[in-house]
Amino acid sequence: AQKITQTQPGMFVQEKEAVTLDCTYDTSDPSYGLFWYKQPSSGEMIFLIYQGSYDQQNATEGRYSLNFQKARKSANLVISASQLGDSAMYFCAMREGLTSYGKLTFGQGTILTVHP
């Protein structure tokens, strides 16, 4: 069963605008962590932001914020003030359980294109 769903194969945004990338997840474990990664055309995986299932506040890291809606099982990534360098593939991922180890399950990704 698909545990991470990213429904937007591609997204376009104008430079300096904000964009939201959608992610929904499915788990019966009350303890889990949610991650977002950026993969530019070079292929490296760059960690962006993390949200724990018990975290009360939405995570923020610079221009990145995670809109965590636990009851809806969604963990959308918001990128504010988009830059041309934000053009890349973005992956949502989940780790189940209390431990900080364990496999990440990834979604299919969203290709973001930032237009000047």
- Cα–Cα nearest to 97, from 105, 87, 106, 88: 105
Query: According to CB under 8 A, which one of 30, 40, 62, 102 is a site residue for other proteins?
Result: 102
- Cα–Cα nearest to 108, from 26, 17, 13, 2: 2
**Site size for other proteins, by CB under 8 A?**
18
Stretch that binds other proteins, among 13-21, 42-50, 56-64, 69-77 (CB under 8 A): 42-50
Only one residue has tokens 């209390």, namely 98
Gap between the Cα atoms of 68 and 82, Å rounded: 20
- Cα–Cα nearest to 63, from 19, 112, 107: 19
- Residue 72, Cβ neighbours under 10 Å: how many? 9
Interaction of residue 45 with other proteins, rule CB under 8 A? yes
Supply 104's token pair: 């990440």
Query: According to CB under 8 A, which one of 25, 32, 68, 91 is a site residue for other proteins?
Result: 91
Nearer to other proteins, 71 or 89 (CB): 89
Interaction pattern, residues 48-87, with other proteins; x per rule: CB under 8 A = --x-------------------------------------
Residues at the interface with other proteins (CB under 8 A): 35, 43-45, 47, 50, 91, 93, 100-109
